Amino acid sequence: MNHKFSKYFFIIVIIVTSSFLIFKVFNYYSQKIKYNSLENVFLEMNYAEVYSGALKGLPDLSTVLGSSQSFREPDRITELPVLVNDPDGGEVSIFVGLEQAFSIEYSKKLGNDTYLYIDYEYRDKKLLGSIEISNSNSSLVWAKSDYWIDKKGVKR
């Protein structure tokens, strides 16, 4: 009787251990495939923030930047302010969001209700730059990114 119990116990331990190892190997390769599908640094930075913790060893972009803000569901797009020691009062922000929206923006207040925006936006495998002088404290790139996410059909 004792020998039979030992045999069944050993079989159960083998099955549990094998299942755990198979799960770990599957998880490792699925993460590797997902990481390799990120074609460039912009997609990698966006993925790191939008899918926080999904890939082991890939830190949140907000953590890397030292930003006080981070992207969390159900956000559609989030601004990550980055602390920059600009004596003229300029600010750098990075916008991340669903559907691979990614923008880097330098903004500076020039005077009474006049702002300068220098933006780089990555979308559809293209990096686009723009310079804007506006009387609004929100840039055109922010509005375009929000519109683009709506156009892609992301539900609010």
Residue 153: pLDDT over 60: no
User: Are 94 and 77 a contacting pair, CB within 8 Å?
Assistant: no
Specify the pLDDT at position 62. 84
Residue 57: pLDDT over 90: no
Query: Among residues of the chain, what percentage have pLDDT more than 70?
Result: 83
Specify the pLDDT at position 156. 40
Residue 19: pLDDT over 90: yes
Total tally of structural domains belonging to the chain:
1
Rounded to whole angstroms, the Cα distance separating 122 from 96 reads 10
User: Rounded mean pLDDT of 124-150?
Assistant: 77
- In terms of pLDDT, which residue wins out, 12 or 101? 12
- Residue 5 in any domain: the answer is no
- Residue 12 in any domain: the answer is no
- Residue 14 in any domain: the answer is no
- Residue 52 in any domain: the answer is yes
H or E stretch covering 13 = helix 2-36
- Residue 93 in any domain: the answer is yes
- Residue 1 in any domain: the answer is no
Q: What single letter denotes the amino acid at residue 56? A: K
Q: What confidence category does residue 139 fall into, taking pLDDT thresholds of 50, 70 and 90?
A: confident
Specify the pLDDT at position 149. 61
Residue 155: pLDDT over 50: no
- 3-state class (DSSP) for residue 119: strand
Rounded to whole angstroms, the Cα distance separating 128 from 15 reads 54
- Residue 89 in any domain: the answer is yes
- Residue 9 in any domain: the answer is no
Sheet-wide strand order for 114-123: 77-82, 91-97, 101-111, 114-123, 126-134
> Model pTM?
0.63
H or E stretch covering 41 = helix 41-50
Structural domain span for residue 48: 38-151
Rounded to whole angstroms, the Cα distance separating 111 from 136 reads 12
H or E stretch covering 140 = helix 140-151
